Structure 1
Amino acid sequence: MLDFLRKQAQSPLIQTVVVIIAVVFIFWGVGTNLGGSRSSVATVNGTEIPGMDFSRAYSQALDGLQQQFGGRMPSGFAEQLGIREQVLHRLIQAELLRQGGAEAGIRVSELPVQQRIAEMEVFQEKGKFSLQRYKDVLSQNRMTPGSFEKGLKSDLSTERVQELVGDFTVISDNAASRWQAWSNEQLKLAYVKLEPAAFESKVAADDKALAAWFEKNKERYRSEPKVRLKYLLFNQSDDEKEIKIADEELTAKYEQDKESYRQPEQRHARHILFKIEKNAPEDIRAEKKKQAEAVLAQAKAKEADFAALAKQHSEDASNKDMGGDLGFFAAGRMVPAFDAAVFAMQPGDISGPIETEFGFHLIKLEEIKPETVRSFEQVKDSIAASLKREQAKALSFKRAAAAYEAVMKAGSLDKYSQQEAGKVQVTEPFSRSEHPQGLPADPKFIEAAFSLKKGELSSIIELREGYAVLFADDMQEPEQPKLEAVKDKALADWKKEKAAELAAKAAADLLAASREKKELQTPEGGTVTVTGLLKRTASGEENAPPDQVRSDAFKLAWKEKLPAAPVQAENVWFVYEVRERLAGESKTDDDVRQQLSASARRDLLTAWLASLQNKAKIRISLRSRDDEPQQ
């Protein structure tokens, strides 16, 4: 379940394990970009994951990404990250976790559900649970007590499963101390970098060696298959120019879709966060609340500057420097307790401490932007454009279908072209990677072209901006060129490869000489770079080598100064010497213990989920992006 209000009740551990998408912590997106289908997107051991759940989760992920990019995410970025696949993976793992708990006999009675609801501040008035407020808040968010409590019970079962799995992890004082010392260790390096480019001048031309090398590597020079097309193109834009939309049609469409032009009430707020780590002990929670109450008293003082207090005290790194400014947001965009508090305030009100899964918040409401409905004049042009696209698509298909029928009656595309001069377009032979200018830049067009056999006519191909009919006039199979035809390129590639071999040999020789002298030697014409003290995981230090070198150096035994072999990083070879090594402080604090415990719990839960997944019967029915209707 991904219902808005129950996010407060979801366990943080499963979020850590299965949520791959990084989002700004305070925001939770709502709405859908995928149409809200009721059909399932996957089945896990016979239990369906509804399309509606996927739509909500996908929209949340997109909203989170958009917030990170200031509301304007780069085109195609979500597809590049594979957000759809990540969201589906998260939902499948959540279902596996629920089923695993049920199989283990873990049950949650009604009493914990009632207790959790009573503890949620969103349902409280003057610090006590209010049945009327409970019903009102659920009603405002289009939920019933039955559906909310059913979902909350499912989440509590999941939390119980995680707690029981986590109870098997034990972090001893000795383990925590050793980890602290290990993580705080530092070392200083001296290193020599050997780049292949520096050795290319030492590679002498050798036709015999080049020929032998080319024989082993000739497949990389094989040409791509090519196709020569004859095709008919029916551009949607051509039909759009001919379409006129009457004002009555625009008005009717506006009234039909008027609800979609409604912009809900938005509120502008600031907050000061006193952050609490997951599973923090009660004494830390109490201390944080005490701090929040002290700052609240300052914020409510006459002429207090809330933004200045946020810059001084807030632990929300994402907006601390902006005075805790969260900008405008609609109901349902924040975690439930925070959301409920904001939408119960008036401009100028300061509320808190409000507890959420992130800690205690002090909130100031700056401004209310009332609900509005965009006027007909504001959206008239976009409605007209949308209707033109719809009608033009239909006209384009009608033209394509008529032409296709005419081709069939004529007996061939060539005979059709004699009847309809100028309509059939012809290309030069082209490959998948290199297209002639003017060819539709649509993957479906290219895919259809290379799926044809020589002399074959396609069906009507639907494109993003119209339709096409293709005929494979000629197909050219891949060719294996002779060395003479690609000699310049082959020679350059061979030289780079030989230079890399020389660099690797030079690195091995330098390391051997250094080990013999028991210290790093300076190669002829080369230089030795010396770093400052490096940490295991830090980055950006002056003169620091690539991470592969740093990692290799920290793996050396304390008595060793030189590595067993040169380190290759990004096709460059490094030979290094450890000049200085400092042991890390082994004092263990509560933060370290909590980090180790959380890591161990994550590892154990991840392993258990993997085991459940290996035994599960999972069927995925989520359609690919290409199969979806165009928005």
Structure 2
Amino acid sequence: MLGIIREKLKGILATVIVAILIVPFALWGVSNYFTGGGNEGFAEVNGEPISAEEYRRLYFIKRERLKQLLGNQVDFSAPTVEGSSIDELLKQEAIDEVIRSAVLRQLGYQSGYRVSAAEVQQTIGADANFQVDGVFDQQRYEEILRINNRTPQQFEAAIMRDLIVRQLEQGLIQTAFVTSPLVAQKVARDKQRRSYEYVELDPMRFRGELKPSEEQLKKFYQDNQHLFVSEAQAQVEYLELKASALPESQQLTREDLFFYYEENLAEYTRPERRKAAHILLTLESEADADTVASVMARAQALREQIEQGKSFAKVAQESSEDPGSAEQGGDLGWVIRGQFDPAVEAAVYQLNLNDVSEPVRSTFGVHLVQTTYIEPVQVKSFEEVKDEIAQLLRSQWQEEQFYELSETLASMAFEYPDSLEPAADMLGLQVQQIGWLTEAGLDSGLGANRNIVNQIFSEELLQSGLNSEPIELSPDHLIVLRVAEHQPSQPRDYQQVKAEVKEAWLTEQAKQKAQQQIDVILKGLSGGEGKEYFAEEFNLTLESVVGQTRHPSAAAESTRVSTVFSMSKPVEGEPVVTAVEDEQGKLIAIRLL
């Protein structure tokens, strides 16, 4: 039975991993997703071949991101505003990004940026995708790489390339500069000041003098019926399938649990772990024989210093060329199998405690390695893990049942498209209902899920009354729904909305009167009228502001201040005036001084 479960979970695990692997530095190979296509170069950047695999990997990630953002209903053949399809646009973006990455990587190498083995190790060890209970887990690391068709060496090389690009980008950011003319322009702009006068008019002051007749209200209602319609409503039926709600009908004996424990003992075994320190002398992989011999001799000389009594940490601080560990006396922390260069790792695990290796050649250069701590193999006893195993097997059984039932649900919903009853009878589920809801949705439950509401009010489901495709709410929770009843949007009766009609009429008429009065006020400002005029004629206050900066003292002033600084400079004898509506709907007439 466990074998069957594992086979079924392979696809599931792969799906989950696709979701978690869209992280910085995650350069995964996904060639199995595409038909054909090897890893041959399909482009060159300054003579460096770019593999088809790298392009395919990035293209696949872009597709998955878009599906996560918009749901699984994305039509990749749909045209974009540029005329090309979504799929074509994603492919072009992938090509552009691969080329950009290659150019930056080359520039990073040319600029002298390098990454140490310790930095690669720290980056991988800190990635939550490779951790169990907050600690790096070698088995999980290798499993994820294996599923994505990558070796540790390939992945670590990709991490190194990305870190170099990151270093370059950070270096460019930190060394960015602004020219003196731009600085002067910015300073002068920030020092600008404006003086102006303004009159503020609230349209609501006119509401009290407005008395609409019945005829006026009815005409307004007829002319603006789109404002007074009922919202479309739908009543929905659905079937819900949750793995956690399935019965735990599997009976497990102690023998079952012990059999699983013995078959999977590696899961409950922590392999021997070691801490180490190293001294690195960098050496290019293409170095000639004389250069290699020279570096090896230097390494041997350093080893002799240690044998004569000088501490390994002191020699590392003085001579190591690994910028990530030299100051810490060459400390590498935990050296996990499969995470380091094979030659360095082999040396660490062959040494006795505190011994120093002979010079070791790696892809980074030449190392002297010291094993500083050895943690022996640790195996959890059956009694420690039996409850955990029982829970795991029950969960796996539920998951197996869930995925078999989900396939049946999808099939039945398709074969009987205008009813959920056949699927409910087959699976022993209950047809549930979401009460009447509008496109605004509900405050809780499924009606509060924006994706579900959007699907309910899609033309396909709303008009047809057919079953939806299974909608995944989480990896182990899905629903199938259909619109049982639909009430389209329609004009509401005048008597029902009379109060709303009156309110809308008053608001519109008040704004019209305010606009008429603001036009008169603008003429007064253009004519040079002062405070007394506006107080006597309109019962309004002419406010004065001197030395206004570009930064308003309150959010409510932002529209007025931005308008002031957009106005052209006044010419003597020709005042500049304008009007604007602010965030609260008030009209403001402005005279720039």
Q: Which TM-score applies when normalising by structure 2? A: 0.48
Q: Which TM-score applies when normalising by structure 1? A: 0.45
Larger radius of gyration: 2
Structure with bigger RCO (C-alpha 8 Å, 6+ apart): 1
